Amino acid sequence: MRTMLLVLALLLVPTTAIAWDGPELWYAPVTAASPGGAGIVGTGGQRDHGITCLDCHQERVDTALDVTFTFTPPLVASGPASAYSPGQRYRVDVAMLNESLGPPCDQYMAHHNNFAANFELTSGAPAGILESDSGQIQSSCPPDFTDPQTGTTALYGDCEVVFPRRGENMESWTFYWTAPSAPSEVRLFYGATDGDCMMTSLGDAVVVDDLTLVAAAAAASEPSRRSRSPWPMAPVLVVSLAGVMLVFRRRR
């Protein structure tokens, strides 16, 4: 239902929509005087019904914009995925790379970059526990937004998505993630916008993507399953058959 309301709101607003520079608008009703996202933050995950930043930011600028996530302690490479330790609390540093839009802005404009990220199980349920670096935590989630005085990120509403607190010219953010205690496949969905000075949803650069994370225990067990393959027995069988044939020939 909230997806339909969001779509209707997007159709009803003027072409040049005012960008959601205020974090309090992520969970504001779409029918409010200042329409919000009704909890849809645009990460592209199942909780957001596949909606991403690309659905609102139109007439985009094509740049080399990218976003990196650095986990401390580091994740372990596991094929195309990365492996986490179940139950481990990670510091996650987000960096916006190749930012090229924005300042200098005139006195009536402001420059806001943005990002949003959430962790999901394959079922779409939240994976692990999110914490902002300004004091909010998913296990004790504040229902309303209060602009923090410190830190770079914020949580409220359902605390399933982390995003920046209010601030201009931000290019990096920090939050914390405690991985699920039960080994599971996890998807990190995210989106980011490099905003210009116009404070609208037009003319920005946008990147959306996702990362697959697997539990370290599951990744470690994969080689052991391959080692039980019957193929290593093939040379032994060849040698045994050769011996039988040699004996058969001598008896003839």
We report the CATH number of the domain holding residue 194 as 2.20.130.20
> Can you give the pLDDT at residue 197?
65
Of the two residues 141 and 4, the one the predictor is more confident about is 141
In this structure, is residue 242 part of a structural domain?
no
Higher pLDDT, 18 or 191: 191
In this structure, is residue 243 part of a structural domain? no
Q: How far apart (Å, rounded) are the C-alpha atoms in residues 48 and 32?
A: 20
pTM above 0.85, yes or no: no
Question: What gap in Å lies between CA 240 and CA 134, rounded to an integer?
Answer: 69
Q: Which two tokens stand for residue 114?
A: 């943005």
Does the residue 225 lie in any domain? Answer: no
What DSSP string runs through 104-171?
A: S--TT-----EEEEEEEETTSSB-SEEEETTS-BTTB--SS----SSSSEE--TT--SBEE-S-SS--
What percentage of the chain has pLDDT greater than the value 90? 38
Distance, CA of 188 to CA of 44 (rounded, Å): 10
Whether residue 223 is contained in a domain is answered as no
In a domain, residue 238? The reply is no
For 158, the domain range is: 2-218
Q: Is residue 247 part of a domain?
A: no
The count of C-alpha atoms lying within 13 angstroms of the C-alpha of 156, restricted to the half-sphere facing its C-beta, is 19
Compare 49 and 11 and report the one with higher pLDDT.
Answer: 49
Q: What is the pLDDT of residue 202?
A: 60
Q: If we measure between CA atoms, which residue out of 174, 7, 180, 160 comes closest to residue 85?
A: 180
Residue 251 included in any domain: no
> Is 62 within a domain?
yes
Tally of structural domains, the chain: 1
